[in-house]
């Protein structure tokens, strides 16, 4: 289900196509070569304003760090790298326009970014039409499917299937009764689909679902119905400030005394915003947590570099995507010896990288990054060693193609 079908014009893909047409330029041929001595320019559209702004600003900090570390080592093939950040305002049309400007006006060599299922699909439309490499750093199942596949696009983020399967594995049981509170747009529906698929495999039972509008501030009208379902588990499938508001109000209504609260993605910034009491015991998935530094050398190196560049602050989950997405692209450019599109695509397809969380690689059929999935639980205040000590790592599902949907299921030839 797309955002357009749910009547959310600010997150539609129709606007993306309009943005392409508005450019008025003839479609560029793939693999255009630019002067080999010039600065490598990476476009970075992300929603610096709106309900996902906290996560987006962390992505920028981590992406800037990736660029700084490469430039400090002399750049890529002797060329300095520049990050061009643009605010896509969590709007598909705006994202398409900004991406088109980055390509046509700023002459970027590649795009990294976007923080919404539908917005990244809008960026995907533009980069596919222009033959420009795009590294997506937001969760989406759709972008992996054959109908939306682009040979120029690489999905560095986890996807909802991976996230929900890992979380359900460590929270659902055969006897679980599960209720769902779901944001009524693409992200929420993809997470709901993922949880229901995992639920069916485990043998848990759904007792009902309630859909809420994107950006809702008041969830009080949903709580009586959810409580009447008498669930063992309440899955709250939303993102950004919606997650903070929904979890807090569920706790205010005593839902945490009746059911275990589970989220597909346990967001670092939203836990910080609401505090330990409301989030106590909430379980969710994550791509990254700074506590990996105890067991993963690349996480320690990433944390140390980030803290040195940001006044001692730790990197966050969605922030880490900015680092891993840009880093994987620059590693591929280094292996390709420059920015030739076809050579960089080939390098990305063959790339084995470990820059922050352990081994990763891009699967051939859909360009999905194969990586570990963390399952976290929010700590009690008394358990926290310091203000950054937010979560326990309950499990780490190792990087493996077995945790992905198969290529054939996604619509690719066997």
Antiparallel, parallel or unpaired: β 81-87 and 391-397? unpaired
pLDDT value for 37? 74
Read off φ and ψ for residue 197, nearest 5 degrees.
-65, -45
Rounded to whole angstroms, how far apart are CA atoms 85 and 67?
A: 12
Query: Strand, coil or helix: what is 161?
Result: helix
Give the closest residue to 279 by CA, choosing from 413, 379, 410.
379
Q: Where are the alpha helices (DSSP H) in 179-316?
A: 186-202, 223-228, 241-252, 255-258, 268-274, 276-279, 297-309
The packing angle between helices 297-309 and 317-336, to 10°, is 100
Q: Is the pTM of this model over 0.85?
A: yes
From 8-22, 64-78, 140-154, 264-278, the region with the lowest mean pLDDT: 8-22
Rounded to whole angstroms, how far apart are CA atoms 107 and 294?
A: 41
Contact 139, 193 (CB under 8 A): no
- pLDDT tens, position by position, 33-48: 344 579 999 999 999 9
What lies within 8 Å, CB to CB, of 163 at 6+ separation is 139, 191, 194, 264, 265, 285, 373
Contact 150, 134 (CB under 8 A): yes
pLDDT value for 15? 43
Rounded to whole angstroms, how far apart are CA atoms 334 and 150?
A: 22
pLDDT band per the 50, 70, 90 thresholds, residue 165: very high
Q: 353 pLDDT exceeds 50?
A: yes
pLDDT value for 30? 40
pLDDT value for 18? 43
**Mean pLDDT in residue range 94-112:** 98
pLDDT value for 110? 98
Q: Would you say the C-alpha torsion 294, 296, 301, 305 has a positive or negative sign?
A: negative
pLDDT band per the 50, 70, 90 thresholds, residue 117: confident
- pLDDT tens, position by position, 224-280: 999 999 999 999 999 999 999 999 999 999 999 999 999 999 999 999 999 999 999
Query: Strand, coil or helix: what is 310?
Result: coil
Spacing of C-alpha 173 from chain mean position:
27
Beta bridge partners of 94: none
Cβ-count burial 227-248 (b if 16+ within 10 Å, e if not): bebebbbbbbbbbbbbbbbbbb
Local structure of residue 275 (DSSP, 8 states)? -
The packing angle between helices 317-336 and 341-350, to 10°, is 120
Rounded to whole angstroms, how far apart are CA atoms 110 and 148?
A: 19
Q: 335 pLDDT exceeds 90?
A: yes
Rounded to whole angstroms, how far apart are CA atoms 49 and 56?
A: 8
**Beta carbons within 10 angstroms of residue 39's beta carbon:** 15
């Amino acid at each position: 289900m797309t955002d357009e079908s749910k009547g959310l014009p600010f997150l539609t893909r129709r606007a993306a196509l309009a943005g392409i047409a508005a450019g008025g330029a003839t479609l560029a041929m793939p693999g255009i070569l630019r002067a080999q001595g010039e600065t490598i320019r990476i476009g970075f559209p992300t929603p610096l304003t709106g309900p996902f702004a906290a996560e987006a600003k962390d992505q920028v900090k981590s992406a800037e760090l990736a660029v700084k570390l490469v430039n400090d080592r002399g750049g890529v093939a002797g060329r300095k790298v520049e990050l061009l950040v643009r605010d896509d305002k969590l709007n598909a049309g705006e994202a398409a326009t900004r991406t088109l400007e980055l390509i046509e006006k700023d002459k970027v060599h590649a795009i990294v970014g976007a923080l919404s299922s539908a917005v990244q699909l809008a960026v995907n439309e533009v980069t596919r039409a222009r033959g420009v490499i795009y590294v997506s750093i937001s969760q989406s199942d759709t972008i992996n499917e054959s109908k939306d596949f682009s040979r120029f696009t690489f999905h560095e983020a986890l996807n909802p299937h991976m996230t929900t399967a890992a979380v359900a594995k460590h929270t659902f049981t055969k006897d679980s009764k599960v209720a769902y509170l779901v944001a009524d747009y693409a992200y929420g529906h993809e997470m709901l689909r993922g949880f229901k698929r995992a639920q069916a495999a485990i043998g848990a039972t759904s007792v009902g679902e309630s859909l809420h509008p994107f950006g809702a501030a008041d969830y009080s009208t949903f709580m009586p119905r959810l409580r009447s379902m008498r669930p063992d588990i309440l899955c709250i499938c939303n993102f950004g400030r919606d997650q903070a508001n929904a979890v807090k109000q569920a706790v205010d209504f005593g839902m945490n005394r009746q059911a275990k609260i589970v989220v597909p993605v346990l967001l670092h910034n939203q836990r910080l915003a609401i505090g330990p009491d409301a989030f106590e015991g909430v379980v969710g998935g994550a791509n990254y947590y700074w506590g990996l530094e105890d067991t993963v050398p690349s996480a320690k190196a990433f944390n140390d570099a980030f803290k040195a560049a940001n006044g001692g602050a730790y990197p966050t989950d969605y922030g880490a995507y900015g680092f891993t997405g840009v880093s994987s692209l620059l590693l591929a450019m280094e292996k390709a010896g420059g920015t030739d599109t076809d050579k960089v695509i080939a390098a990305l397809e063959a790339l084995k990288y470990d820059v922050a969380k352990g081994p990763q690689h891009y699967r051939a059929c859909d360009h999905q990054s194969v990586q570990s999935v963390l399952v976290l639980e929010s700590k009690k205040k008394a358990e926290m060693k310091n203000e950054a000590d937010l979560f326990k790592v309950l499990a780490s599902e190792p990087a493996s193609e077995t945790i992905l949907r198969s290529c054939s299921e996604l619509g690719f030839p066997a």
